[in-house]
Structure 1
């Protein structure tokens, strides 16, 4: 099955969809939150969830090459402005630099980095309950004409984990949340 083409509740609850890519997080980040709060928590522009959204959960295991670590949603797309370079840089690269300073050697920095990524892999594959890995799929589609930093601003809330699926994975629709509604988190 492929990703649906339409935008109004494009997913059918209970159905599996293959080849889903993009940013994922944990259920706890959105459960019980109104759409405007989810926008601020995940880094969508104001109004992006105004027409509702579909909520998908992972049903296929991921391998280490299937995702990139994005740190927290406060770094849109897992990227952060690196002032010395005047450019957006993946958080992974900045973390490695921080670990190198902290540990003083490439080997020690890389060992801790691999531990962090291994923990992420386990978390993605083993998430249950409020730690369930989900994707919020807005009914208002991506707008190619809108600048990325406007469409996907850094989130206001810290400590919400994010990863990006770079290879399509199977996900199941667990809810279609209508405009203005709140998903309570019960599955």
Structure 2
């Protein structure tokens, strides 16, 4: 209430306006490829040491590019278990924190890269975003907007007969 606490009212109003401004920047965002020279090589995964707490780590993985998979939530653990157990999954990586996509709202760190073999053809799901809820209104505004930027970003990178796909999923079955 402005009369009781004008400073608090102004701060809340400013935050609401700034939140809407950040989300408006995402509306209509467009990513463009800048030549064919830029790519991520697997050596990037080998140069950085993977660290995490033992209680948040899936050990003795067979299909991951790492020996252990550090997960951030129960949803991610179940997803990693599903990747390990599914015969269609050839290889996967829990993407490290330095793997980011720049967005107008700040850097965004996707969750996974997954190579799937289906009907004799391989398909790369370059980034799979795992969330316990896929309903946009249940995600924080900024996080939902960054995920939307990720979709547009990887859509712009889609080139060739079988381009990498970006998906949000709660389970491995949703990417097959």
TM-score between the two structures when normalised by the length of structure 2: 0.22
- Higher percent of residues as strand: 1
Q: Which has the larger radius of gyration?
A: 2
TM-score (norm. length: structure 1): 0.21
Higher helix share: 2
